[in-house]
Structure 1
Amino acid sequence: MRMVFGLVLLVGIALAGGAVYMAKNYIDRYEAALAAERAQQPEQIPLTEVYVAKTRLEYGDTLRREDVQAIRWPEEWVPEGAFLAEADDLFSEEGRRLVLRTMETHEPILAPKVTGPGEQGGLTMRIARGMRAFAIKVDVASGVSGFLRPGDRVDVYWTGRVDAPDANRGEVTKLIQTGIELVAVDQQADSSDLSGTTIARTVTVAATPQQVAALAQAQSTGRLSLSLVGANDDTVSQAVQVDQMGLLGIAPPPEPEAVPEKEDCTIRTRRGSEVVNIEIPCTN
């Protein structure tokens, strides 16, 4: 009986040792596989929550809490002007914000695209300090065939006749302003809401008071045409002026030579009560 008990005990110890050995091997393999999997995973990036548009937001819409949602965003790549959920400064008791530029779904809410709390939206929010808005009449030709958008820059040309005694060269076209920014096309101040081409009747530019005076004078005395400046063009246009005769290569007529006036040389003499003029040779 004792031999049977001892044999059973030995068998039990052997089985327990085998189980421990197998479990250890399994755990070692699991840890090795887990370490290999962790090595293949990319490095963990710190994230933060940023407010984004839940649906498409149009220009002039009132921004409400149900229109936005917070999503996790890499801290290192948070766009400048984004509203963080932890700061909770997108909504304020001072008033609601208005949308200044169209935003698509899941696009981050940025400060330049919304007004301040309680501020009114509209064109006045897009005019920088010291600048003024001025409307220019355009048509399909002078308005670059409808390809103008708010935010574009244009050169302004004036065409008309110069009222001057020596101005006998027909109409003149001259570059009068360069790099003027458009802030609105007709009554639309948001470029993303304009699809295709729109034949505008007026465009509104942002200009200094001196430029406004020049544009007003030019518009009342002639015709204004706009020339679209490329988005990446940082060159400064030089003075440009073209007249009809120069365009056609016609030389101006020569000025007539001055004809010297005939000089009369006389002397006056008195004969009694009569005064007589007598011609004599002229001498220098």
Structure 2
Amino acid sequence: MRIVFGLVLLAGLALAGFAVYMAQNYIGAYENALKQERDRAIESVPTQKIFVATRAIEYGEQITPEDVKLAHWPKGTLPEDFFDEEKPIISEGEKARVALRRIELNEAFMGVKVSEPGGDAGLTSRLKRGQRAFAIKVDVASGVSGFLRPGDRVDVYWTGRVKVIDANVPDGDVTKLIETGVELIAIDQTSQVDVNNATIARTVTVAASPQQVAALAQAQSTGRLSLSLLGRQDDTVSGAVEVNQLSLLGITATEERAIPQAEQSCTIRTRKGGEVMEIAIPCTN
């Protein structure tokens, strides 16, 4: 009985191995036939290698070498202004491009969907991690006569009236440096940096942290803001700057001196006959 069981088991294993061998041969033949069919399709339809996306790229994202690959594309349906080996989307020594629209996986890159090398997709692509955009109202005087450009850095001064309770602190207008080295990312409604003509702006947009935004909003609502343009190569850091009317005119606040009070003496008058006498008594008040 055991011999019969063993023979049946060996026969089953042999049949199973033969079935696996046949399946492998069938799958291999199918893959070879599919590859040959694809090769014939490529040969029958003229194609050209162009750059396509290897992942979905969102608006404003930088395009890196890992995001692009060459793929065959039918010549009859080539998109306009595509990128290929003669016109690569990423060239050595050039700055990265950014997506001006959403680009899907395996979608061809086109000139209308990406910026020029080193370009941007608006304010959102210029804000660094943790930064916010904030608009400041300016005029001819506070806006440096229209010579501000996106990419410049400015110091922000606040001028307003300070009301204090301490009588020793002078009350009046004061000008104070509240933010230094703030970057401008837009002038009015433009973020283009290649503007050569001076423009009298009504607002400038700065990139700042949430804490700086809160300080600028409070300062703008309680006083007047003025901007001071920094040099392109200036890497100095301004310290605390504050000027009031007294320091502007060089007037030193005098300390009030306490006037010593005369020692008090208390007396009572009594009449004794025709004589009036004064008798000293302790003061009760």
Q: TM-score, normalised by structure 1?
A: 0.55
Does the CA contact (< 8 Å) of 1:169 and 1:244 recur in 2?
Answer: no
Partners in 2 of 1:98 and 1:178 — Cα distance? 37
Matched, 1:175 2:181: no
Query: How far apart, in 2, do the equivalents of 1:179 and 1:123 lie?
Result: 18
| Equivalent residue letter for 1:113 | G
Matched residue, 1:24: none
Equivalence map 1:78-227=2 (5 Å): 78-81=93-96, 93=107, 98=113, 109-110=116-117, 112-114=118-120, 121-165=121-165, 166=167, 167-168=169-170, 170-192=172-194, 194-227=195-228
Counterpart secondary structure, 2:162: coil
Give the match's secondary structure for 2:247. helix
Kindly state the Cα deviation for residue 182 of structure 1 after the two structures are TM-superposed.
0.6
What amino acid maps onto 1:163 in structure 2? Answer: K
SS at match of 1:135: strand
Q: 1:72 to 1:203 in 2, by over 3 A?
A: closer
Cα deviation digits, residues 12-53 of structure 1 (max 9, x gap): xxxxxxxxxxxxxxxxxxxxxxxxxxxxxxxxxxxxxxx9xx
For residues 166-210 of structure 1, what are the alpha-carbon distances to aligned partners after superposition, in whole Å with 9 as ceiling and x for unaligned?
443532111110000111110111112x23100000001011111
Do the aligned partners of 1:170 and 1:245 also contact (CA within 8 Å) in 2? no
Tell me the CA shift for residue 126 of structure 1.
1.5
Q: Which amino acid aligns with 1:181?
A: E
Aligned-CA RMSD value:
3.7
Among the aligned pairs, what percent are the same residue?
A: 56
Q: How many matched pairs?
A: 188
SS at match of 1:164: coil
User: Do the aligned residues in 1 keep the contact of 2:140 with 2:146 (CA within 8 Å)?
Assistant: yes
Indicate conservation of the 8 Å contact 2:163/2:172, yes or no: no
1:31-88 deviation digits (Å, cap 9, x = unpaired): xxxxxxxxxxxxxxxxxxxx9xxxxxxxx9xxx8428786589x996335379xxxxx
Alignment gaps of 5+ in structure 2? 1-50, 52-59, 61-78, 267-278
Alpha carbons 1:174, 1:242 under 8 Å: kept: yes
How far residue 261 of structure 1 moved from its aligned partner, in angstroms, is: 5.4
Partner in structure 1 of residue 16 of structure 2: none
In structure 2, relative to structure 1, the CA distance for the partners of 1:92 and 1:157 (3 Å cut) is: farther
**One-letter amino acid of the structure 1 residue matched with residue 93 of structure 2:** V
Q: Counterpart of 1:15? A: none
Query: 1:124 & 1:82 partners in 2: Cα distance?
Result: 15
Q: Structure 1: how far apart are the matches of 2:137 and 2:255?
A: 40
